[in-house]
């Protein structure tokens, strides 16, 4: 399978980076082809300009490449911390710019933008890995965990991807090195289970 990995964390020594590296390695060992984007390292520009809003415009080459990879991928892994119930802005902007009408979804019947969208992605499974410093009960009761609806319904659901697994690792800030090592190994195993290779 062709799998797209998107990583959004500013610190190369972060748990997020270690998890992304482990996931990439395990999926390569399974025989998959990987497109890997460390958005901070690539200095991805997250600001959708006004001229990019219409459907049929000539895209910036970097954005066009991201759009093509998203369209051609069989699977996707997204790795980021939970900041304010949202992804870091660099990933919010990746969503804003890369998930485009006519490529990732289209409006059925009414194409004015008011119609009901239909997903166009061929992605068979999505894995979202989040790190958090908020306890599970507090996240659900006080904050309502907006990332759950954002990824499952607003983004992947709209693009036709219904097989979505989301894993939340908490509490990172007080975690021991042992726990982090276990998390890293577990996330590699989880990715290999979701995207099984050819035996």
Q: Give the sheet arrangement for strand 2-7, strand by strand.
A: 33-38, 2-7, 75-81, 125-132, 164-170
| Orientation of helix 89-98 relative to helix 61-72, angle to 10° | 80
Q: Smallest distance from the beta carbon of 135 to its own copies, in angstroms?
A: 8
Tell me which residues in 157-176 interact with its own copies (CB under 8 A). Answer: 157, 171, 173-174
Binder among 18, 21, 34, 48 for its own copies (CB under 8 A): 48
> Which string of x and - marks every residue 78-117 that binds its own copies (by CB under 8 A)?
-----xxxxxxxx-xx-xx--x------------xxx-x-
Non-local CB neighbours of 96 within 8 Å, separated by 6+ positions:
46, 48
Whichever of 81 and 188 has its CB closer to its own copies, that residue is: 81
153 binds its own copies (CB under 8 A): yes
Measured distance CA(144)–CA(42) in Å, rounded: 32
Residues lying near its own copies in the complex (CB under 8 A) are found at 10-12, 14, 40, 46-50, 53, 83-90, 92-93, 95-96, 99, 112-114, 116, 133, 135, 138, 142-144, 146-147, 149-150, 153-155, 157, 171, 173-174
């Amino acid at each position: 399978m062709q799998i797209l990995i998107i990583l959004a964390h500013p610190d190369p020594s972060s748990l997020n980076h270690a998890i992304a590296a482990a996931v990439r390695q395990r999926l390569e060992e399974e025989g998959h082809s990987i497109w890997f984007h460390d958005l901070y390292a690539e200095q991805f520009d997250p600001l959708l300009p006004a001229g990019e809003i219409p459907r049929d415009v000539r895209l910036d080459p970097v954005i066009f490449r991201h759009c093509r990879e998203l369209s051609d991928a069989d699977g996707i892994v997204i790795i980021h911390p939970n900041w304010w119930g949202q992804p870091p802005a660099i990933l919010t902007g990746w969503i804003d710019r890369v998930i485009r009408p006519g490529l990732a979804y289209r409006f059925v019947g009414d194409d004015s933008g008011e119609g009901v969208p239909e997903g166009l992605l061929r992605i068979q499974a999505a894995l979202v890995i989040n790190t958090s410093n908020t306890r599970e009960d507090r996240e659900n009761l006080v904050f309502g965990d907006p990332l759950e609806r954002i990824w499952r319904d607003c983004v992947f659901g709209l693009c036709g991807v219904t097989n979505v697994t989301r894993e939340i690792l908490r509490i990172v800030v007080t975690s021991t090195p042992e726990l982090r090592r276990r998390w890293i190994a577990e996330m590699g195993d989880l990715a290999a289970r979701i995207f099984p290779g050819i035996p």
